[in-house]
């Protein structure tokens, strides 16, 4: 089974469709914290900036102990040597080396948000909407395309409340993407996770 991520605990912020994609995890250079619960993280060495390729909205996976992973999002990027995260995390002042980041990119262009799926015999989109705060609900648009073809709509649906659903993809396609937009406002915090799962051909 292959899993790829479009959105992970995403908070909707747009009245027009945006297409998100979480990239593969990359191991980062050593980082340190304050030694106590804090939102601030720093490079261990000025010679090896930890956060050069990291942007606001990216995801961090910090191994604070054996088999214990703290998952955080980048809230602000002060410099290539300093960031803050969305929730406090305890990282030793002496530093640690075992952490990864995954770049999250989102946009409105025809080229944004695509995950490949051409080698999979079975394809599914897993939608997990834990919280809907957007007024008018969350509009979800699933699109597929072949090689050199324009995007085609596979599903367009509004989710007015929390819901979990698996969408089987029966249409032949080489790549898939998922767009999200809100109805009319964003007073609270949405919590939207959407993944792709595929079974490779044997």
State pLDDT tens for residues 15-41. 999 999 999 999 999 999 999 999 999
Q: Is 129 helix (H, G, I), strand (E, B) or coil?
A: strand
- Can you give the pLDDT at residue 67? 74
Classify residue 111 as exposed, middle or buried by CB count within 10 Å of its CB (0-12, 13-18, 19+): exposed
**Can you tell me the distance from the alpha carbon of 180 to that of 156, in angstroms, rounded to the nearest whole number?**
10
CATH of 24-105, one of 1.10.3470, 2.60.40, 2.40.30, 2.60.120: 2.40.30
- Can you give the pLDDT at residue 30? 94
Element (H, E) at 127: strand 120-131
Handedness of CA 182, 59, 151, 199 (dihedral sign): negative
Domain with CATH 2.60.120.380 in the chain: 2-17+108-200
Which DSSP symbol is given to 196? E
**Can you tell me the distance from the alpha carbon of 58 to that of 41, in angstroms, rounded to the nearest whole number?**
14
Q: Is the pTM of this model over 0.85?
A: yes
Which DSSP symbol is given to 185? B
CATH architecture designation of domain 2-17+108-200: Sandwich (2.60)
- Can you give the pLDDT at residue 145? 93
| Residue written as token pair 């597929």 | 144
Cβ atoms of 191 and 138 closer than 8 Å: no
Q: Which two tokens stand for residue 30?
A: 């050593």
- Can you give the pLDDT at residue 136? 87
**Can you tell me the distance from the alpha carbon of 183 to that of 16, in angstroms, rounded to the nearest whole number?**
9
Closest CA to 137 of 197, 181, 102, 97: 181
Low-confidence ranges of the chain (pLDDT < 50): none
- Can you give the pLDDT at residue 201? 82
- Can you give the pLDDT at residue 175? 96
Q: Which two tokens stand for residue 74?
A: 């980048």
- Can you give the pLDDT at residue 129? 96
Q: Which two tokens stand for residue 21?
A: 């994609």
- Can you give the pLDDT at residue 189? 85
Domain with CATH 2.40.30 in the chain: 24-105
Closest CA to 34 of 86, 96, 102, 80: 96
């Amino acid at each position: 089974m292959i899993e790829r991520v479009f959105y992970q605990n995403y908070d909707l912020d747009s009245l027009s469709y945006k297409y998100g994609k979480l990239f593969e995890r990359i191991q980062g250079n050593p980082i340190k914290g304050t030694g106590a619960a804090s939102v601030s993280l720093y490079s261990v060495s000025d010679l090896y900036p930890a956060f050069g390729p990291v942007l606001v909205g990216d995801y961090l996976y910090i191994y604070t102990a054996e088999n214990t992973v703290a998952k955080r999002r980048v809230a602000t990027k002060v410099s290539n040597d300093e960031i803050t995260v969305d929730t406090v995390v305890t990282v030793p002042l002496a530093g640690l080396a075992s952490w990864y980041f995954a770049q999250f990119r989102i946009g409105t262009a025809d080229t944004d948000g695509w995950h490949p799926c051409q080698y999979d015999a079975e394809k599914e989109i897993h939608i997990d909407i834990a919280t809907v705060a957007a007024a008018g609900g969350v509009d979800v648009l699933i699109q597929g395309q072949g090689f050199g073809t324009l995007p085609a709509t596979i599903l367009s649906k509004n989710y007015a409340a929390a819901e979990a659903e698996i969408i089987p993809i029966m249409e032949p396609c080489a790549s898939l993407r998922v767009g999200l937009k809100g109805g009319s406002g964003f007073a609270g915090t949405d919590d939207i996770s959407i993944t792709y799962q595929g079974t490779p051909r044997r």
